[in-house]
Structures are given as C-alpha cells and as structure tokens.
Chain A
C-alpha cells in the first residue's frame, strides 16, 4: 500500500482508520436513522390509509376544513428552506464561512415561518371546535347548513368519524412540527459551530447529515400535504 503523510483533521476520531471511513460511517448511520423515521411515520400513514378507506365521507368533509392556501404557502416555504439548506452544504464544501452562515440563517427563518403558519392553522381549528375530544363539535357535520358549511350532511355516526380524521391530522402534522422544532434547535447549534469555523476546514459531515434530516422532514410534508389537504376535496 502506498504510504503518504496525512494531516488529520481535529475532528478525526481515533477509532476510524481513515477520514473517508468516518464520513461514510456517519452518512450511512444517518440514512439508517432516517429509515427508522420512515417506520415511525409509517405507523400513522398506515392508520390514515385504513381509516380513509373505512370512513371515506368523513375524511372528505375533514379535508375540506383545511385551508389550501395556508397549506400551499407552507409547502412552498418548506421547499425553499430545503433549498437554502442544500446551498448551505455547498457553501461548506467550498469553505465559504459567510455564505454558510447566511444559508443556515435563511433555513432557520423559513423553518420558523412554517411553524408560525402551522400555529395559525392549529389556532383556527381550536376556535372552530375541530380539536378531537370533549370540545369537538359533531353537529357541524350533521347539519352543515346551519353553520354555513357547504358540505354534504353526514349521518351522526359518520360525523363522529370526522374526529378520527382530525386525530390523525394533529398526530401527523404535530409529529412533523416536532421534527421541525428539533431541527431548528440543531440549526442554532450548527450556526454556533459554523461561526467558529468548524465546517469550513474540509469537515462537512455534520452539515451534510443535518441536510439529509432536513430534506427528510420536507419529504414527509410532501406526503402529508396531498394526503391531508388535497385529495378528494368537494367530490359533490
């Protein structure tokens, strides 16, 4: 084997033979972790598909209560933040500290905007008594005209099932939002390390791996948005 003098980065950990091995192990670990995340969300997607089949009418009415403009805006915002995160990886790779920081900040800002809009949507659901549980207002869906809703009236037991739709809506988007909040927390930590210059000396693994996480969160939303907001609206 060829002998060559090699300057190790300070981030090189002793138990790896080479930096290449360290980077590969990190990336592989991240992909595996994302696989566990797919399984984690998978349980809820499974429940959603099952109940959507059983309680189709209730799910249609439930979907109609969500705002496409808000959801659509949020989709655009999330994709944009993902775009900035991809640029952050590029900036780290070309070792531009200023640009890296800028893109991390932009990613964070767009993340916050997404969470803000999400909060607004949740708040509206609260006011309209769409939160499942004791305050859930079933009569809206039994007698929609009295509430000014342009919906097909549902039989009382089917109207009950709208709660399931909202249960899943809150569980899935809530879990997604929780992942965003954790992501934003990590972003602050990355910004702090980036301004120290940790990632612009040839060591980009944390930025790359976080980008994978952030894109994963984007992709989950790209499934949630059509499933919850878009399909089978107003089949009247």
Chain B
C-alpha cells in the first residue's frame, strides 16, 4: 500500500473471493431466529431496518411541509393539518430516528466487537429494547392514524393538556415506551463498557466511538426518566385532571418546560455524541493517523454530557425566567461550545499532514464537520440572550437545529453506515454512486437550510403554513433544496440494497483500519471472536497494523 495513492480501498481478488461460509447472518435461518435473537449484530440490523422505515415516514412529512411552503398562500393543507404534519415530523424524527439512530444500529453492532467481547452484557434486554421501540413506534403511528397530534413535538402545556383535543395521550405513551428502549440501550452499553472489556483494553485504549457512546449513554440513563415522568404527568392531567401543570388549578406550565428541557436539551447530545464517535473513527482511518489529542477528544465527550445537563433553561429565555438565571444559563450554554470545538479542532489537526483519501465515508464526514460547525456556531448566537430574543421561534432556529441534527447527525449516521457496511454485510457498494449521493446530500442540505437562516433573520416565524409574499423566493429555494436532499437520501437506499446481492466482496479490512472490528471476518461470526483477543496496542495504531499485515504476508507467503 502506498500512502500517496488516491484510494486505500483494499478489496480481495474478486475472481476468487467469497463470503465466509458461516457468519451471523446465515448462522440460523427463518424469521423466528431473527425475532428471538440475542445477537447484538442481528438486533442492530433489526434496528437499522426499523429506523429507516420511520426515517422515510418522517421525511415524507417534511416533504409535505416544504410543498405547502412553496407558495405564500395556505393552499395545500389546512392549518390544523399543517400543525399535525410538523408535529408528527418532529416526534418521529426525534424519538424514532435521531435518538436511536447511531447507538441502536452502529453502536449495537460494534460496541461489543470494539471492546473485544462476545455480546452486550444483557442480550435479552437488548432485544426487549427493540420491541419496546416498535411498541412505542406503533403507539405514535396509532396517534397519527386516529387523527394526529398538533402540539408540536414539545407537548407544551397548557396547550397540550388543556386546549388541544388531539391524541396527546397516545403519542405521549408512545414516547414514554420508546424512552424505555433508549434507557435500556444506554444501560446495556454502560455495563458492557465497565464490565466486559477484553484483557488489555484499558479505558484509554478504547476507540473514541466507545467513549462517545459512553457519554451518550449517561445522558440516556439520567435524562430519559425525567422525560418519562413529565409525559406521565401530562397524560394524568389530560385523563384524570390532576393539576401539576394546569395554571387554572395553580399548577405551573413553566415547571413543564423545566422538566421537559432537562431531558430534551441533553437529548440533543444523545443524538450528536454517537455521531461524533463515528467521525473520530472515520477521520482517523482516512487520514491514516491516530486522532490528535485522543485524551482530549475522549474527555470532551464526557464534558459535553455533563455540561449538557446545565443548559436546559436557554429554551425558556422568552418565557419569563428571571434575568439572573437567564444570564447564568446563557453563559453555561456557551460553555458547551468549548468541548465541541475541542473535537472539531482535534479532527482538523488529525487531518493536517495526514495521508487523506476521499472515500465515501470521509466525504460524509467532511460534510458533518462543515455543517456541524455552522450549526454549532449559530447555536452560540442563540445562547446569547439578546440575539435569542430576536431570533427565537423563527426559521433561524429551524435552520440551526437542522444543521446540528440533520447536517450533523444524519451525515455522521450515513458516514458510519457507509464505513461499516462492508463489515456488516461483507460486501461493498458502488463507489461512484455513493460519492454522488454524498455530494448530492451536501448540496441539497445547504440549499434547503441556508435560506432558512436568512428567512429567520428577516423574521419569518416557524410553525405557520402561510407567510408574506416577500419571503417566497427563499422558500422556493428551500423547497428545491429539499427535493435534492430527498434524492440524496433515496440513492443510498437503492444502491445499498443492490449491494446486498451484487456488491463486490469486501474482505475483512477494506479500509485498512486498526479497530478490533476490522481484524475479524466480514460478516462476523455470531460469537464475534473464537478466542477473546488481548489488546496489546493503543487505539488507531497504524504502525501496529502495518507490522501485523507484514507478518501475515510472510506467514502466508
């Protein structure tokens, strides 16, 4: 392998290569062997299929929203239908896609392999969490079929408990149940990381992917129960009329906001941290260097998790919190930008003088870094008290959190899926097509959401289905971008499905990466390792890898 070549893709000879005879996908046959599996890799695949379904349902709602906003007049859907559209879009995307996306799919698949163990600590609980995910998902779908919810994804009281007569309880119950799925995933990860590491796998030899999941799991375990009890109280208020949030009984709607955002702001980090873990792996692999400042990147994950719990009240700057607390929360909010910036700078230093190659996962990773940086920096605008009052509840906010969660998280998710696809399936996808998809997504994304920053700055409020005609040009641009973005999302669906049968055989380590997962066969055996490995080198040690490959050549040759 030469470091200057434009590609490091190292596929075996396609004329002779075959998939291994036995692997986790064909170890047992039949639908039931999947539905009752305890194998973390199969559960990851089940999750991958499930979240893809919900992603495209949520995406369809986004498409309808953009279509309605093509013209200033409210001509496609009525206002209450529009409210239901954006509510369901938010609920599905946040709770059924973004929160489980990387942890439940890639995390589930890779965590035990990266730690050098045969499975997660609690395989049955892992499977249970997938079922809970579906029960929660079906409740949310039921709320949709029965007539929808129009509270927005935030269920703000007293709107949700008092004034709106839609299926709040059903949807809240769905989120409550899906929340347990998230709690169990986090719990499983933490126990596995603490108790199941292979010999020699010290804390500071763990891949950064594991560190970021560790931090995200802490947030899942501590934050989600607070959301759960909050939704229980909302449901009790609607059904039997207790008055904790109801101002007519002396309850306080602001208390709802505190409890809700105590989860829902950290939830942003539940969504983004695992994505950052993906980027660390991808950047290191395609720059052929150890991640610069490994320890700083590892600790910054934990720092983001901890700071994440102290910033929630910035969602309430305009809702009547005291000036003093607004000031404190404004400062704390800006503080979160520090560990995030540490990561971005360290990735940049990793790239510096690295032998960079531009494979598909790397293209997505570059997309992540660019878009997340914009998303993060506009977050600092919003953390600043005065700016927030001008920009809040406008399209500036919409653009900001889509930059973070779609531009950031979804790019990271796609990067990870493309990166580990050969490991998960044993096959490669068509390279030029996948690069095209990455570029299309990036262009489509920017075209969709950059105009929204301007719209928000000019004062177009969010959650309205009609707007003054002077905003139309920017809205048309945004809708056009959404169309391109849609193409960018459908493309991978098609070629990845194609690759399952016709893709070239990938071999064990197509990217020549150092992680433990690349040292085993693709697709892996059900038990991952026949013999538990001993970790005798640091993470991302490319010299170790070069030596190992040399040895293999000599023993084979």
Give residues in A with beta carbon < 8 Å to B.
13-17, 21, 24-25, 28-29, 32-33, 35-37, 39-44, 46-47, 50-51, 55, 58, 132-134, 157, 160-161, 163-164, 166-168, 170-171, 175
Q: Is A40's CB under 8 angstroms from B243's CB?
A: no
Known: A46-B259, A167-B242. A160 touches B233 (CB 8 A): no
Q: 11 new A-B pairs (CB below 8 Å) besides A29-B187, A36-B187?
A: A25-B192, A29-B121, A29-B122, A40-B228, A46-B259, A132-B241, A132-B243, A132-B249, A163-B243, A164-B244, A175-B232
Tell me which residues from 190 to 246 in chain B have a Cβ below 8 Å from any Cβ of chain A: 190-192, 194-196, 221-226, 228-230, 232-233, 236, 240-244
* A42, chain B: closest CB distance, angstroms: 7
Asked if B397 is at the interface (CB within 8 A of a chain A CB), the reply is: no
Q: Which of A13, A24, A167, A175 contacts B243 (CB 8 A)?
A: A167
Q: Is A35's CB under 8 angstroms from B221's CB?
A: yes
Asked if B118 is at the interface (CB within 8 A of a chain A CB), the reply is: yes
Interface core residue of B120, B224, B242 (most chain A CB under 10 Å): B242
Q: Is B225's CB under 8 angstroms from A39's CB?
A: yes
A157 and B250 alpha carbons, distance in the complex (Å) = 8
Please name the residue on chain B nearest to A131 by beta carbon: B240
Asked if B512 is at the interface (CB within 8 A of a chain A CB), the reply is: no
Known: A21-B195, A33-B187. A164 touches B251 (CB 8 A): yes
Q: Which of A35, A41, A44, A161 contacts B222 (CB 8 A)?
A: A35
**Inter-chain contact total with CB atoms closer than 8 Å:** 115
Q: Is B196's CB under 8 angstroms from A25's CB?
A: yes
B-side interface residues, number (CB < 8 Å): 44
Give residues in B with beta carbon < 8 Å to A.
112, 117-123, 125, 183, 187-188, 190-192, 194-196, 221-226, 228-230, 232-233, 236, 240-244, 249-252, 255, 258-259, 527, 532
**Chain B hits for A28, CB < 8 A:** 191, 194-195
Known: A39-B225, A39-B226. A14 touches B118 (CB 8 A): yes
Q: Is B241's CB under 8 angstroms from A36's CB?
A: no
A161 and B242 alpha carbons, distance in the complex (Å) = 11
* B243, chain A: closest CB distance, angstroms: 5
Q: Which of A24, A33, A55, A170 contacts B242 (CB 8 A)?
A: A170
**Chain A hits for B221, CB < 8 A:** 32, 35-36, 39
A16 and B121 alpha carbons, distance in the complex (Å) = 8
* A141, chain B: closest CB distance, angstroms: 12
Q: Is A37's CB under 8 angstroms from B118's CB?
A: no
Q: Is B236's CB under 8 angstroms from A42's CB?
A: no
